[in-house]
């Protein structure tokens, strides 16, 4: 994995964090939203790389990172509402 892939995962994570903060009308604080999005995207992207997933190269890993970031934000929001 090179530095470009890492920057792409960071961009996806920050994008998910921004969208989740704006979509929740401020119910999720920006620091938490960006942090969860970033952690989820990095976990998903690096995890899929280490697991050897090779579907569509970086595009497939970006989709996995996007899914993991979204799941992290949704889980945090659901656990917070309980």
Over the chain (82 residues), what is each successive 10-residue block's mean pLDDT?
85 90 86 91 86 79 88 86 56
CA distance 2 to 78: 34
Total domains present in the chain: 1
pLDDT at residue number 35: 92
Prediction pTM value: 0.81
CB 73 within 8 A of CB 40: yes
pLDDT at residue number 38: 92
pLDDT at residue number 55: 73
Provide CB contacts within 8 A for 35, sequence distance 6+: 17
pLDDT at residue number 1: 67
Residue 17 belongs to domain spanning = 3-21+29-81
């Amino acid at each position: 994995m090179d530095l470009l892939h890492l920057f792409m995962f960071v961009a996806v994570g920050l994008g998910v964090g921004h969208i989740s903060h704006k979509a929740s009308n401020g119910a999720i604080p920006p620091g938490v939203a960006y942090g969860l999005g970033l952690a989820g995207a990095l976990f998903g992207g690096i995890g899929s790389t280490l697991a050897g997933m090779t579907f569509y190269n970086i595009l497939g890993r970006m989709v996995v990172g996007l899914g993991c970031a979204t799941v992290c934000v949704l889980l945090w929001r659901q656990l917070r509402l309980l």
